[in-house]
Amino acid sequence: MSTIALFFVHSLLLVCLPYLLWRLLKLRNWVPLVVVQILVGIMLGPAVLGRIAPAFWPSLFTAESLTTLSGISWLAGVMFAFLTGLHLQPAEFRGLGRSFTVVSISSIFTPTLLGVLAGWLIAAVHPEAMGTAASGLQFAAAIGVCIGVTALPVLGAILRESGLINHRIGRLSLGIAAINDATLWVMLAFLLVGLPNRPTAAIHGFWLALVAIVYLLLMFFPIRLQLRHRIGAEESLSESGLILVCATIFSSALIAEWCGLHAILGGFVAGSIMPRRAAQAIAAQLEPITVMILLPFFFTRTGLTTYFDLFSSGLFDIFLIATVTSVIGKFLGTALPAHWMGEGWPVACALGTLMQTKGMMEVVVLTVLLEAQVLSATCFSGLLFMAIATTIFTAPTLRLTCHLTSLPCPSKANGQNS
């Protein structure tokens, strides 16, 4: 089969198969599409299909074809990070009260600190979980970042379908998740600067940090002002406006990658500096093709290029430690301070439940850390299954929480993948 034909076979498998399974099996009533995409990638990858059909798999997924998929998947990751930054609207979260600030800080740092401790435990029990480029401290910090993730897009979908999007719970949880996401990118940037470890890493990291600071200052001040001047507030984006937006995304990704922050972080920065008045028009142009066409390549490619032993004790141990730490850290780190700041237990418990969702954001972070050789393939897989489990159970747990309290009971989430 020619390379071109093979590419379109992959496109059918990666884009269409997960969506068909999601619709035909009525999984949309229970899980986001992204979960199905990740699972399909794992099933098609070397860990499952490669074991079942070891002679057939290399001919279906050749090294050349995986290289092609890699480029598309990173474009998808950068575009998704851009849309995440684009959807952050700080003005919408003003006036939420002092509890918002306290809960936001606690909801990110409590699980992150617990995650660091979990990272030390994982490294002690399973040293092979550490990537080749990571020290013990970097590995523990990476686990902390992964545990602290809350996925803003998936959370928004759950709130929309549950009817809580305009409720105080919805506004608070979206605001908290937005702060979580922004803090996550900052922590990830600090973690990545100076990798991989080598004798000159400290000096190299110092200069990269200076370059990164200059890059961020340029993006958030002169470039942001120029974008505000050149991109209007029309309902639709002009051709020149679209090219300017894409040029900003790709340039930001390139510079961020060059100075050690990672291209995906560059995409997020580009989204966060876009004019707020044009955000809806930009999203209308870029979001459908990114979410429905490009992102499946990112999520399924993750499974295709990762080999791990599904039956290894290390994978299960990492999954169990990470899941327990994430659930406890996110729930207690959100619900307790929310109640202490005056929220009733129903609202506090609902907030703690909603912060469990990790979805796309966790996959992006895990993939970045795997590519940077901070995590091993086994550790990556254990954390990936943790992300899937917490995302799947967020909506049902929210319904149970609302049923047991005085909150309006949401309908079953249809699992939008946004």
Render pLDDT for 68-84 as a digit per residue (tens, 0 to 9): 888 898 898 899 889 87
| pLDDT value for 200 | 40
Nearest residue to 359 via CA among 35, 91, 118: 35
Question: Which of these ranges, 21-30, 85-94, 99-108, has the smallest mean pLDDT?
Answer: 85-94
> pLDDT (tens digit, 9 = 90+) per residue, 323-346?
999 999 999 999 999 999 888 888
Q: How would you label 126-163 residue by residue, b for 16+ Cβ within 10 Å and e otherwise?
A: beebbbebbeeebbbbbbbbbbbbbbbbbbbbbbbbbe
> pLDDT (tens digit, 9 = 90+) per residue, 248-261?
999 999 988 887 67
Separation between Cα atoms, residue 354 and residue 20, nearest integer Å? 27
Q: Bigger pLDDT: 9 or 66? A: 9
Question: Residue 351 above 70 pLDDT?
Answer: yes
Classify residue 192: in a domain, yes or no.
yes
Classify residue 417: in a domain, yes or no.
no
> pLDDT (tens digit, 9 = 90+) per residue, 291-316?
889 988 887 776 676 666 667 778 99
Question: Residue 166 above 70 pLDDT?
Answer: no
| pLDDT value for 412 | 44
Domain count, the chain: 1
Separation between Cα atoms, residue 245 and residue 250, nearest integer Å? 9
Question: Residue 104 above 80 pLDDT?
Answer: yes
Classify residue 129: in a domain, yes or no.
yes
> pLDDT (tens digit, 9 = 90+) per residue, 167-205?
778 878 877 887 887 788 788 877 876 565 444 444 455
Classify residue 356: in a domain, yes or no.
yes
Separation between Cα atoms, residue 365 and residue 378, nearest integer Å? 15
Question: Residue 388 above 90 pLDDT?
Answer: no
| pLDDT value for 203 | 46
| pLDDT value for 327 | 96
| pLDDT value for 219 | 92
Is the bond leading into 337 cis (omega within 30 degrees of zero)?
A: no
Percentage of the chain with pLDDT > 90? 32
> pLDDT (tens digit, 9 = 90+) per residue, 110-151?
999 999 999 999 999 999 999 988 888 999 999 999 999 887
List the domain range (segments joined by +) for residue 265.
3-404
Classify residue 411: in a domain, yes or no.
no
| pLDDT value for 20 | 93
Whichever domain contains 116, its CATH number is 1.20.1530.20
Token pair recorded at residue 349: 């418990």
pLDDT tier at 416, thresholds 50, 70, 90: very low
Classify residue 410: in a domain, yes or no.
no
| pLDDT value for 326 | 96
Q: Print the SS3 string covering the chain.
A: CCHHHHHHHHHHHHHHHHHHHHHHCCHHHCCCHHHHHHHHHHHHCCCCHHHHCCCCHHHHCCHHHHHHHHHHHHHHHHHHHHHHHHHCCHHHHCCCCHHHHHHHHHHHHHHHHHHHHHHHHHHHHCHHHECCCCCHHHHHHHHHHHHCCCCHHHHHHHHHHHCCCCCHHHHHHHHHHHHHHHHHHHHHHHHHCCCCCCCCHHHHHHHHHHHHHHHHHHHHHHHHHHHHHHCCCCCCCCHHHHHHHHHHHHHHHHHHHHCCCCHHHHHHHHHHCCCHHHHHHHHHHHHHHHHHHHHHHHHHHHHHCCCCCCCCHHHHHHHHHHHHHHHHHHHHHHHHHHHHCCCCHHHHHHHHHHCCCCHHHHHHHHHHHHHCCCECHHHHHHHHHHHHHHHHHHHHHHHHHHHHCCCCCCCCCCCCCC
Mean pLDDT of the chain: 83
How many alpha carbons lie under 13 Å from residue 392 in its C-beta half-sphere? 12
| pLDDT value for 160 | 66
Q: Bigger pLDDT: 382 or 202? A: 382
| pLDDT value for 56 | 92
Q: Bigger pLDDT: 262 or 366? A: 366
| pLDDT value for 144 | 96
pLDDT tier at 397, thresholds 50, 70, 90: confident
Instruction: For tokens 């996401």, name the residue.
Output: 181
Separation between Cα atoms, residue 278 and residue 232, nearest integer Å? 7
pLDDT tier at 414, thresholds 50, 70, 90: very low
pTM for the model stands at 0.75
pLDDT, mean of residues 14-25 = 91
Classify residue 156: in a domain, yes or no.
yes
| pLDDT value for 230 | 86
Classify residue 413: in a domain, yes or no.
no
